[in-house]
Structure 1
Amino acid sequence: MFYRPADGHGLPHNPFNAIVSPRPIGWISTRGADGRNNLAPYSFFNAVAYVPPQVMFASTSTKPDRGDTKDSVANIRDTGVFCVNVVEYAMRDAMNASSAPLPMEDDEFIRAGIAPAECTEINCARVTGAPASLECRMTQIIKLEGAHNFAVFGEVIGVHVRDDTLTDGRFDLRSFHPLSRLGYQDYARVTELFQLVRPDA
């Protein structure tokens, strides 16, 4: 099979986001200028640089009460900060609940039964008990091709790491089973790790 995306794929569901998988999930928490908390998962997410540490996520849809984007991007535009919370398998149901398209005045922390904790370096809530949370200062928002596509970049200026995720001085993924996005309604958890020694190591 071959198709040109501009012509359509002819399948019951778009295969694109299933092809590019697995993808880490950025559980993005923000706070509006009005003080309301927001929390939403984004699977177009990744780390993009080491020094200084930087991350990005992309938002690809809109809400009627937010004009050209969604709550997360709108809040970041207003405040210039956001927090990325790592999603573990044990938090899958709460993460999924926080993806509901709620009105801007609703708090996803409350709706999903998640306890918020205050960030240290930024005026924002983070997910209590997350394996790790990255406090970020927005560096740029880039408008991508398409009606409602935005890429948000941020510099990580504060890092929270849950104590039980550290083993021999390393952030141990085996201690909590990271959750990843596949495609359609499918997710996966990391349960098996192995090492490959790079040729230049």
Structure 2
Amino acid sequence: MYRKIISAVDGSFHSELAARHAVAIASSLGSQLTVLAVDAGEVERKKLSYAIEHLRQHAGTYGIQAKGIIRKGEVVKTILAVINEENADLLVLAKFYSYKVEILHVIEFPRWYDLPWIRLYTMRRQGEETMAPVADALKALGINVDVRVVVAESSINAIPKEAAIGRHSMALMGASRRSILKEVVYGNPIERMLSSILCDVLIWRRRL
């Protein structure tokens, strides 16, 4: 049983999620909860104070009177020092994972392998220019983005292949009204692709 829990926060979305788990654990076990923020000079102190107070209020909705601490210093050493001072049994913190998005643009062209290399190069460059506004919009949100353009006879075959080469975790695709019409006439190409792709797939369709 955990009698004293420390949740380390830094004002990020990930640390708040971890802290909410700490609140849930403390609530279920009747543990004391301390919300700790380390001021290492990388995050504004005002933001750290807000993160602590926000989570203390959240803990209060569960009947927990959480203690808030802001300590200046090096992150790891400071956290270890507070663990010893508070005689804590459990430390809850978040690990930040850096995700990368690859925008895949497939240009369908029959017998593309018979095209001269300069034509293929031009098609890929034009595809990159077409996708540039989308990539720029994602980069403006702080998302790490790459653009990849391939020329293939069928996107249904190209997408699973590229997902496997890039070892992607998820493929996000949009379904248009035109693709819905093609399903009626030619069958469902997405189902054929799902049978061969190796990662999770999320399909987005605009409301009709």
Same fold (TM over 0.5): no
Higher strand share: 1
**Higher-RCO chain (CA-CA 8 Å, sequence separation at least 6):** 1
Higher helix share: 2
- Structure 1 length-normalised TM: 0.22
